Structure 1
Amino acid sequence: MCRIFTSQDPATYAAETRAVRLHGHATSIRLEAAFWATLEQIAAAEGLTVTRFITVLHDEILARHGDIPNLASFLRVTCMHWLRNQDAHAQEVARRQAIRETALPAA
């Protein structure tokens, strides 16, 4: 069983630090490559860039909880949640898209 895990490419768990601007403030976030790849998938599904997606998450969690003690950990858990619940997330994205389309004026 452990071969499934130990045979993965070391590049997937190599740490990458990326510079991100949150409302004009530069910050750096260090995550493993696999998490960055997952964030790219989530952002694409939402029609956003990774930076914009992180900014939206940042703003929403601040509004809800008033603080983000560890943004990198929050992003990792977000990735895990998304991977476990991809079907539900896809349905939510489709629902929001349908709402946007019905709100558009007829051409």
Structure 2
Amino acid sequence: MCSIFSDIPRESYESQTRSIRISGHSTSIRLEAAYWDLLERLARHEDKSLSRLLTELHDEVLDLHGEARNFTSLLRCVCLIHMTRGGSASELLREAEPL
């Protein structure tokens, strides 16, 4: 049996709901802890607060597509793309296929 799952601490995949302000509006986002950790690292790398990074991602997807149908999924994809391609979050969104 592979040990991919057995090596992951339970805390990494447990969901966390956080209240975040995006463009001045309060909202709740539920993601697994590993995604929150990566988003916080991306924000630090961009020299921004997590709220600012999420606002910029949200505004950018609105500009590109007119709506953010599933913002939580977008955040997971940004994390996945970051892990596979590297680079900053703003670069990643521009490089990604339309969501």
TM-score range, shorter chain: 0.7 to 0.9
Deviations 1:38-63 (A, max 9, x none): 00111111111111000000000000
Report which of the two structures shows the higher radius of gyration computed on alpha carbons: 1
TM-score (norm 2): 0.84
Mapped partners of 1:26, 1:2: distance in 2: 42
Give the secondary-structure state (helix, strand or coil) at the position aligned to 2:5.
helix
> Which amino acid is the alignment partner of residue 64 of structure 1?
L
In the TM superposition, structure 1's runs of 4+ consecutive aligned residues that sit over 3 Å from their partners are none
Q: How many residues align?
A: 90
Residues 53-62 or 6-15, more deviating: 6-15
Mapped partners of 1:9, 1:68: distance in 2: 31
Q: Counterparts in 2 of 1:64-75, with a 5 A limit?
A: 64-75=64-75
Q: Counterparts in 2 of 1:1-107, with a 5 A limit?
A: 2-86=2-86, 89=87
Mapped partners of 1:35, 1:2: distance in 2: 23
- Looking at secondary structure, tell me which structure has more helix per residue: 1
RMSD across aligned C-alpha pairs, in angstroms? 1.7
> Which amino acid is the alignment partner of residue 63 of structure 1?
D
Mapped partners of 1:2, 1:76: distance in 2: 24
Give the secondary-structure state (helix, strand or coil) at the position aligned to 2:76.
helix
